[in-house]
Amino acid sequence: MLNKKHWLLLASAGALTLTGAANAATLEDTVERGAVQCGVSDGLPGFSAPDGDGNWQGLDVDVCRAVAAAVLGDADAVNYISLNAVERFTALQSGEIDVLSRNTTWTTTRDTTLGLNFAGVTFYDGIGFMVSRDLGISGADELDGAAICIQSGTTTELNVADYFRANDMEFDPIVFDTSEQTVGGFQSGRCDVLTSDTSQLAALRIQLDDPNGAVILPDIISKEPLGPVVRQGDDTWFNIVKWSLFAMLNAEEYGVTSENVDEMTSSENPDIARLLGQDGNYGEGMGLEADWAYNIISQVGNYAESFDRNVGMDSPLEIERGVNALWNQGGFHYAPPIR
If one asks whether residue 155 binds other proteins (CB under 8 A), the answer comes out as no
Please state the separation of Cα 73 from the chain's center in Å: 22
Which class for 84: exposed (0-12), middle (13-18), buried (19 or more C-beta within 10 A)?
exposed
Q: Which is nearer to other proteins, 97 or 256 (by Cβ)?
A: 97
In the chain, what is the straight-line distance between the N-terminal and C-terminal CA atoms, in Å?
Answer: 59
**Nearest distance, CB of residue 223 and other proteins, angstroms:** 24
Considering only residues 204 to 263 of the shown chain, the ones binding other proteins according to CB under 8 A are: 206-207, 209
Query: Amino acid identity, residue 240?
Result: I
Neighbours of 328 (CB within 10 A): 9
If one asks whether residue 19 binds other proteins (CB under 8 A), the answer comes out as yes
Q: Which is nearer to other proteins, 1 or 21 (by Cβ)?
A: 21
If one asks whether residue 281 binds other proteins (CB under 8 A), the answer comes out as no
Which of 28, 76, 87, 262 touches other proteins by CB under 8 A? 87
Which of 270, 316, 330, 336 touches other proteins by CB under 8 A? 316
**Nearest distance, CB of residue 311 and other proteins, angstroms:** 8
Short-list 132, 104, 130, 131, CA closest to 117: 104
Q: Which is nearer to other proteins, 94 or 269 (by Cβ)?
A: 94
If one asks whether residue 76 binds other proteins (CB under 8 A), the answer comes out as no
Q: Which residues contact 197 (CB under 8 A, 6 or more apart)?
A: 125, 126, 127, 128, 156, 224
Q: What are phi and psi of 16, to 5 degrees?
A: -65, -45
Which of 73, 74, 79, 273 touches other proteins by CB under 8 A? 79
What letters, b where the CB count within 10 A reaches 16 and e where it falls short, cover 4-41? eeeeeeeeeeeeeeebeeebeebbebbeeeebbbbbbb
Considering only residues 167 to 196 of the shown chain, the ones binding other proteins according to CB under 8 A are: 180, 183
CB 333 within 8 A of CB 326: yes
Between CA 291 and CA 306, with CA 334 as vertex, the angle to 5 degrees is 60
Which of 24, 73, 74, 95 touches other proteins by CB under 8 A? 95
Which of 84, 152, 167, 260 touches other proteins by CB under 8 A? 84
Q: Which residues contact 198 (CB under 8 A, 6 or more apart)?
A: 125, 126, 127, 128, 216, 220, 319, 322
If one asks whether residue 265 binds other proteins (CB under 8 A), the answer comes out as no
If one asks whether residue 13 binds other proteins (CB under 8 A), the answer comes out as no
Q: Compute how many residues bind other proteins; rule: CB under 8 A.
A: 44
Residues paired with residue 271 on neighbouring β-strands, in sequence order? none
If one asks whether residue 54 binds other proteins (CB under 8 A), the answer comes out as yes
If one asks whether residue 25 binds other proteins (CB under 8 A), the answer comes out as no
CA quadruple 49, 52, 56, 60: dihedral, nearest 10: -40
Which of 24, 74, 82, 157 touches other proteins by CB under 8 A? 82
Q: Which is nearer to other proteins, 27 or 276 (by Cβ)?
A: 27
If one asks whether residue 122 binds other proteins (CB under 8 A), the answer comes out as no
Tell me how long the chain is: 339
Q: Which is nearer to other proteins, 84 or 260 (by Cβ)?
A: 84
If one asks whether residue 266 binds other proteins (CB under 8 A), the answer comes out as no
**Which residues bind to other proteins, rule: CB under 8 A?**
14-15, 18-19, 21-23, 42-46, 49-54, 57, 79-84, 86-87, 90-91, 93-96, 180, 183, 203, 206-207, 209, 310-311, 315-317
